Amino acid sequence: MTGSVHPALMSLETALERLLELAEATPISERETLPLGEARSRVLAAPLVADFDLPPWPNSAMDGYALRQADWLGEPLVVSQRIFAGQAPEPLEAGSCARIFTGAPLPEGADCVEMQENVEILADGRVRFLQPLKPGQHVRPQGQETRQGETVLNAGTRLGPVQLGLCATLGVAELQVLRQPRVAVLSTGDELVEPGQPLGPGQIYNSNRRLLCSLLEQLGCEVVDAGILPDDLALTRTKLGELSAVDLILSTGGVSVGEADFLGQALREGGELALWKLAIKPGKPLTFGHYQGVPVLGLPGNPASTLVTFALLARPYLLRRLGVAKVTPLQFQVPAGFAWPKAGTRREFLRARLENCTAVLYANQSSGVLRGVAWADGLVEIREGATLVEGQPVTFIPLSELLL
């Protein structure tokens, strides 16, 4: 059963739609050329088009013998040449076969390969083929993977290890990519102390800074670490003003209801501000605004909320500024290993693990608990208004998706 969003709250879909519109209005389009080895996590600025057929020539998929299928008459054939990978073969002598190894070019005149397990080698060195052969068998034809002129990767593709490997198969040594987004990370809170410093009374360590800086680095951003900002209006103004050269200021904390709202106040004076109460849990309060033209996204301060809002909103926003089409994380259905008898007014993103392909929950779902996120394989989504009995399907978003 699913219900609708509480009228005072904004649905996740609406928030994402608005953020993506804002992102599309301010695309990052400056390009740079990078060697393949430095292009990881970047976004392709121009389509990758194949300059040649891949494979460039027909080759053997097996260790065995290459021959012309029509020459197989049940009679043994002499071996007229040996062809290893990396060698250029001679045309095949009529009525003979060639010893051939995986990846070696097929000699002109051959049209099939028999694997070595299916032949008998006679005392005089001739080879008897034990089974009938089909033209093309165990041959990787020219252009099987890609034809010259085909677009292999579209502009806007994120370059992970596999995409980079694919570029290498086409002999590409350099890529045109978009410049990195520059993102400033700002941790607000008088209570925050950096690891390595002693904790005073009432103080806690700043975990969001490391969390966000690492997530952004993974995403291919240039991180401007803006440190800790005390809860103070004048300091907030000064700090925001200093960050005029970034593409996004990503802050945490200071957006909970009831707290002196320094970020909001500074944005109201120095630009524009939208305060959103999202129908999600964790992660209800979210700020989006501009300070002197620079976009500011204020995520909630509780670390699990920071992670969830980064994954569902900040990451898609940044990817869309780079023109990436698919920005929302992969998700799939798994059976719930728990019951959810009481419907909520906000969509829950519960920290969960897959055990025997079934989602089980971390015992403590408090938004301040980062340990549960570290324990989890992913987030289970339970829609607002929904109830569940154990075994019913739920949506699972693997956390590994967010770390790509």
The only residue of 189, 270, 289, 329 in contact with ligand AMP, by rule CB under 6 A: 189
The only residue of 64, 295, 303, 323 in contact with ligand AMP, by rule CB under 6 A: 303
Asked if 285 touches Mg ion (CB under 5 A), the answer is: no
Asked if 157 touches ligand AMP (CB under 6 A), the answer is: no
Residue 65: its H or E element = strand 64-67
What, of ligand AMP, Mg ion, none, does residue 270 touch, CB below 5 to 8 Å by kind? none
User: 189 to 208, contacts with Mg ion by CB under 5 A?
Assistant: 189
CB closer to Mg ion out of 89 and 254: 254
Asked if 302 touches ligand AMP (CB under 6 A), the answer is: yes
CB closer to ligand AMP out of 60 and 208: 208
Asked if 197 touches ligand AMP (CB under 6 A), the answer is: no
Q: Which two tokens stand for residue 116?
A: 């070595």
Piece of 172-180, 194-202, 245-253, 338-346 that binds Mg ion (CB under 5 A): 245-253
Asked if 187 touches ligand AMP (CB under 6 A), the answer is: yes
Q: Name residues whose C-beta falls within 8 Å of residue 120's C-beta, 6 or more positions apart in sequence.
A: 127, 128, 130
- Residue facing ligand AMP at closest CB distance: 301
Q: Which two tokens stand for residue 210?
A: 């490391």
Per-residue interface string for the shown chain with ligand AMP, residues 252-271, x marking contact by CB under 6 A:
xxxxx--x------------
CB closer to ligand AMP out of 59 and 302: 302
The only residue of 300, 316, 329, 372 in contact with ligand AMP, by rule CB under 6 A: 300
Per-residue interface string for the shown chain with ligand AMP, residues 90-129, x marking contact by CB under 6 A:
----------------------------------------
**How far is residue 322 from each of residues 84, 155, 158, 191, 302, measured CA to CA in Å?**
45, 10, 9, 35, 28
CB burial readout 13-34, b (16+ within 10 A) else e: eebbebbbebbeeeebeeeeee
Q: Which two tokens stand for residue 81?
A: 């040449």
Pair 84, 163: CB distance under 8 Å = no
Piece of 107-115, 187-195, 212-220, 391-399 that binds Mg ion (CB under 5 A): 187-195
Q: What is the CA radius of gyration of the chain?
A: 29
Pair 387, 366: CB distance under 8 Å = no
Piece of 62-70, 96-104, 206-214, 237-245 that binds ligand AMP (CB under 6 A): 206-214
Q: Which residues pair with residue 291 across a beta bridge?
A: 271, 294
Q: Name residues whose C-beta falls within 8 Å of residue 215's C-beta, 6 or more positions apart in sequence.
A: 307, 310, 315, 402, 403
Token pair 């034990």 is found at 130
Which residue type does 268 have? R
* Count of residues of this chain found to bind ligand AMP when the rule CB under 6 A is applied: 20
Task: Report the alpha-carbon angle 195-196-199, nearest 5.
Answer: 75
Q: Which two tokens stand for residue 139?
A: 């041959």
The DSSP code for 93 is P
Q: Least distance to ligand AMP from the beta carbon of 397, Å?
A: 22
Q: Residues in the site for Mg ion, rule: CB under 5 A? A: 189, 253-254
Q: Residues in the site for ligand AMP, rule: CB under 6 A? A: 187, 189, 191-192, 204, 206-209, 252-256, 259, 300-303, 368
